[in-house]
A and B are shown apart, each in its own frame.
Chain A
Amino acid sequence: MRRAVITVLGRDTVGILARISSGCAAHNINVLEVTQSILQDMFAMIMMVDITNCNVPFTQFADEMTAIGEQMGLHVHTMHEDLFNSMHTI
């Protein structure tokens, strides 16, 4: 299984989870796990997704996620999980 981490940071607003997860569904990307927290009005969500059957190149998907973030005034980072594994595990 190839997995990616989508991180969403910014001001809380209606429909963040819906927009991001429908963006995933549109490309056959399964959401495996979601952690979210709201501190005051700042929204932080981390989503682990399965990109094994992604129907577009991963870089294109990452660009689309960034674009959704920009439309909603949020920082969205879509990164392959290998980065986190290599930096934080031995």
Chain B
Amino acid sequence: MLNVKDILETITMIQDENLDVRTVTMGISLLDCQSEDAGRLCARIYDKICRRADRLVAVGEQIEKEYGIPIINKRIAVTPVSMLLGAFAEQDAVQVARTLDRAANTCGVNFIGGFSALVHKGFSAGDQQLIAAIPEALAVTDRVCSSVNVGSTKAGLNMDAVALMGRVVRQTAERTADRDCIGCAKLVVFCNAPEDNPFMAGAFHGPGEPDCVINVGVSGPGAVRAALHKAGDCDITGVADVIKRTAFKVTRMGQLVAAEASRRLGVPAGIVDLSLAPTPAVGDSVAHILEEMGLEQCGCCGTTAALALLNDAVKKGGVMASSHVGGLSGAFIPVTEDAGMIDAARSGCLCIEKLEAMTAVCSVGLDMINIPGDTPAEVIAAIIADEAAIGMVNAKTTAVRVIPAIGKTVGEELSFGGLLGGGPIMPVRTQSPARFISRGGRIPAPIQSLKN
């Protein structure tokens, strides 16, 4: 039986604490769109996406209204496009990107993910075409997101891919320098990329997934912070319990939306991603949760421990609330998308090295970090290598989404607008890792991978 307290709590969470479902993402397999002709391949891709996702936005809006839950984004993830490009050229890859952009526009979604390649052990023909096309593809499209998986716990790190992605990130920034280098905000380099991640920019529809699926990503940093605030001066065990309880409620909401969207669209429900995803809006910050726990500012000593507790409690609370958990599942720390992180980066309290430590205990990785425009490709590659190594050794997903601010340096800012936010350019160490990166080859899989 419902009681007044529960009802008012839910209303407050939604109305005052920015509780929402961050994304309902439809995964669509493009494996049956294969063709020997690039034009026909694009036509089939466009038709299949539009056929599968034509009601996605309408159904999302209907659920939003009936349940009173804001669903911020409706998005599409497709099969890694490199898997379709084996017989084609780089220009054809750009053509596919334009097709994805057009399909996303027709379906009314704000992002489409899957301009991706999985190269953790090496490159196949399509992978090379796709990666070479990334800078242009992200410059000529608005909604396409790209990701490349360069390592895994099982396979080790493909250092040739790491070096290549250092160059690709720079080229992508240069190609979109007139728009605050926004191309790089849509490009993620992964280690241990999940196949069912509903969050952009790293979403793609893995080869092990069904033909079509609905994945949901929840959010709610504001609700967690408010619950901690109400809990007052409890001890750390109490803090973990409060977070678990809130995460349970937030995730139940996501599970409900996933089940309803799946039923109404006639598409199987995949996973709920148990995530705390911030936005630049006031009251929707992961950094502010850490500060509510008792840190003066995010980035100070104690941040990693507080984040480890937060990340673990979110998962423990969420896992019982959902039938199938997947995706990235954990707290996100995208700097430019989090009001508290932006402030901490501006004040100098939060630096890249601290963020790197934080990524060892939370979801994702070095995310939405503006770096100086003169950062060489091999330094970007080395940042990717460091982050991927953390993921590889700890058997977790890590990623790098850094934005070289072409023509700008520390002390200046980039602004992307919307959910991508904006923020200061953070200093990066300038000593060169060029020789290490230029060696190429593979870092062997760690001993942790031998579990059989």
A85 to B255, CA, bound (A): 12
Q: Would you call B66 and A87 a contact (CB within 8 A)?
A: no
Q: Would you call A86 and B256 a contact (CB within 8 A)?
A: yes
The stretch among B6-14, B232-240, B373-381 that forms the contact with chain A is B6-14
Do A87 and B252 form a contact, CB below 8 Å, given A7-B8, A46-B7, A75-B15? yes
Do A7 and B7 form a contact, CB below 8 Å, given A79-B67, A86-B256? yes
Interchain CB contact (< 8 A) of A82 among B9, B67, B249, B320: B67
Q: Would you call B11 and A59 a contact (CB within 8 A)?
A: no
B69 is an interface residue with CB less than 8 A from chain A: yes
B438 is an interface residue with CB less than 8 A from chain A: no
Q: Would you call B253 and A80 a contact (CB within 8 A)?
A: no
A35 to B2, CA, bound (A): 12
> Hey, what's the 0/1 contact readout for B125-136 against A, CB within 8 Å counting as 1?
000000000000
Q: Would you call B66 and A84 a contact (CB within 8 A)?
A: no
Q: Would you call A88 and B68 a contact (CB within 8 A)?
A: no
Q: Would you call A44 and B8 a contact (CB within 8 A)?
A: yes
Q: Would you call A83 and B2 a contact (CB within 8 A)?
A: no
Taking residues whose C-beta sits less than 8 angstroms from the other chain, chain B's interface range is 20 to 34
Do A80 and B255 form a contact, CB below 8 Å, given A7-B8, A87-B6, A87-B249? no
> Hey, what's the 0/1 contact readout for A47-79 against B, CB within 8 Å counting as 1?
010000000001100110000000000010111
- Chain A residues with CB below 8 A from B6, complex form: 84, 87-88
A81 to B9, CA, bound (A): 14
A79 to B2, CA, bound (A): 13
From residue 4 to 34 of chain A, which have CB atoms closer than 8 A to chain B?
A: 5, 7, 9
B260 to chain A, nearest CB (A): 8
Q: Would you call B66 and A5 a contact (CB within 8 A)?
A: no
Q: Would you call A86 and B65 a contact (CB within 8 A)?
A: no
- Chain A residues with CB below 8 A from B249, complex form: 87-88
> Hey, what's the 0/1 contact readout for B2-42 against A, CB within 8 Å counting as 1?
10101111110011000000000000000000000000000
A7 to B15, CA, bound (A): 12
Chain B's closest residue to A4 (CB) is B66
Do A77 and B68 form a contact, CB below 8 Å, given A44-B8, A84-B10? yes
Given A46-B7, A62-B68, 15 more pairs with CB closer than 8 A: A9-B11, A35-B4, A44-B8, A48-B2, A59-B66, A75-B15, A77-B14, A79-B68, A82-B256, A83-B10, A83-B253, A83-B256, A84-B2, A86-B256, A87-B253
Chain B positions near chain A (C-beta within 8 angstroms): 2, 4, 6-11, 14-15, 62, 65-69, 249, 252-253, 255-256, 320
Chain A positions near chain B (C-beta within 8 angstroms): 5, 7, 9, 35, 44, 46, 48, 58-59, 62-63, 75, 77-88, 90
4 smallest CB-CB distances across A and B, nearest first, come from A79-B68, A88-B6, A59-B65, A86-B256
